[in-house]
Amino acid sequence: MAKFEPVLFARINKPDSTSLKTYMADGGYARIKEILSMAPVDVINVVKDSGLRGRGGAGFPCGLKWTFLPKDHPGPIYLCINADESEPGTFNNRILMEKDPHQLIEGIMIACHAIKSNNAYLYLRYEYGHSYRTLDAAIKECYAAGLLGKNIKGTGFNLDIVLHRGAGAYICGEETGLIESLEGKRAWPRIKPPFPAIEGLFRKPTIVNNVETLCCVTHILYRGKEWFQSIGVPPDPNNPRDPGSYGPKLYCVSGHVNKPCCVELPLGVTARELIEEHAGGVWKGRKAKAVVPGGISMGFLSDKEFDTKLDFAGPGKVGCLGLGTAAVVVIDDQTSMVDVLFNCCRFMSHESCGQCTPCREGTAWMTKILTRIRAGQGRLEDLDLLMEVAGSMGIIPGTTICGLSDGAAWPVKNAISKFRGDFEEYINSKRATVTSAQKLMEAH
């Protein structure tokens, strides 16, 4: 791939990159008065026509989501910024918030103007202490400079941003769970419909957008929709449901690599390129057995699938749930997929809110079965049992309110389908080892 000039990460290595002074020196807020003077519908159309899809995991078209708000609603209308970022292996939002917070704040301003909102709630993962302090300082700078508050830049537009720290729960990354948490309640996702755009925060129309998505909004309004569509992957002409995968994307690479990193590249890069060209290859001279394409809830790529394009359509073509957050986790050939899957299931079981029986019980059952397998008490039929449990939970079979159980079930279905031989060998060898030990003890 030709050398790509970063956009979202263009400023992160500059001295004092977090301050309002340096952001404005680099052209930040230079056109904000002009943009805030545009008709909100024109801003929406620019974002909609750009093809920007949400970077938080689902990949839903951003501008289209904004159009779901009721027409001529008297207000208030709210914008919630999802900065919870609890998907394992994901740390792209953290870099944006800690290194270039004004890029995000300007995107929030533009989005709030577009949806006619005067109140934005930035919901931040509790563990991100440095992000909190950086954002808090940047927001205060904007208030002091007249970029937030009443009558911004003389345009008549008012905006307040509230920085809210979560309490450390994965489920708060689900938009209605986030809204419930903001309201001071247990983060139990809501039954939909109504969707947040109709009835969200405080039962008012609400849009929930991800940090990286709103940073992209800033650049789309400055550079234009044509620029955005010049990057990434156009729609598949043979798939009328594919809106394309346009724009830059932040890819996190972690796990068994020499140089864990977060890089900005055009959508459509492959896992092999990320590992070999950006992460320094697999550690200890080993080979990669599997790769998580976008957070553990997306499933796994086998070594034969490393050249799959990591855009919004690519991972789904090889049995993964989707691109997710583009958090690539590399698993080397010396690591047991049983251990990997056990960690996935244990995490999801711990983070399930417990509201839906299939998710609450299913995640626990899968964890218990894998615990038994790791203890040498597994049976080959346990693999079919795991697949049965995984196939009976989630939005896709219609048994739960939110997608956490889909994210818990997908790695199970994916791993056993692609690495069944590894699982069978593990069960047989582990069971034989335990049986031999028992016989030795009985003999003495």
pLDDT given for residue 443 in this prediction: 62
66, part of any domain? yes
Phi, psi angles (nearest 5°) of residue 144: -65, -30
Please give the average per-residue pLDDT across 175-181, as a whole number. Answer: 96
Q: Is the peptide bond before 189 cis (omega within 30 degrees of 0)?
A: no
In a shared domain, residues 344 and 321: no
pLDDT in tens, 346-384: 999 999 999 999 999 999 999 999 999 999 999 999 999
Please give the average per-residue pLDDT across 47-51, as a whole number. Answer: 96
Q: With 90 as the cut, is the pLDDT of residue 125 above it?
A: yes
Please give the average per-residue pLDDT across 107-120, as a whole number. Answer: 98
pLDDT in tens, 300-316: 999 999 999 999 999 99
Domain boundary among 332, 362, 391: 332
In a shared domain, residues 342 and 264: no
In a shared domain, residues 82 and 132: yes
pLDDT given for residue 439 in this prediction: 63
The tokens for 16 are 């004092």
Domain boundary among 206, 230, 254: 230
236, part of any domain? no
In a shared domain, residues 328 and 357: no
Find out whether 278 and 261 touch, Cβ atoms under 8 Å: yes
59, part of any domain? yes
Range of the domain at 432: 337-440
Q: With 80 as the cut, is the pLDDT of residue 132 above it?
A: yes
The whole-angstrom separation of Cα 235 and Cα 347 is 35
Q: With 60 as the cut, is the pLDDT of residue 1 above it?
A: no
pTM strictly above 0.85: yes
Q: Beta-carbon neighbour count of residue 133 at 10 Å? A: 12
In a shared domain, residues 269 and 193: no
pLDDT given for residue 436 in this prediction: 63
In a shared domain, residues 210 and 250: no
In a shared domain, residues 79 and 205: yes
Number of domains in the chain: 3
In a shared domain, residues 104 and 218: yes
Q: With 80 as the cut, is the pLDDT of residue 441 above it?
A: no
For the chain, what percent of residues have pLDDT higher than 90?
Answer: 92
Please give the average per-residue pLDDT across 269-289, as a whole number. Answer: 96
For the chain, what percent of residues have pLDDT higher than 70?
Answer: 97
Q: With 70 as the cut, is the pLDDT of residue 56 above it?
A: yes
CATH code of the domain in which 428 resides: 1.20.1440.230
Domain boundary among 310, 332, 354: 332
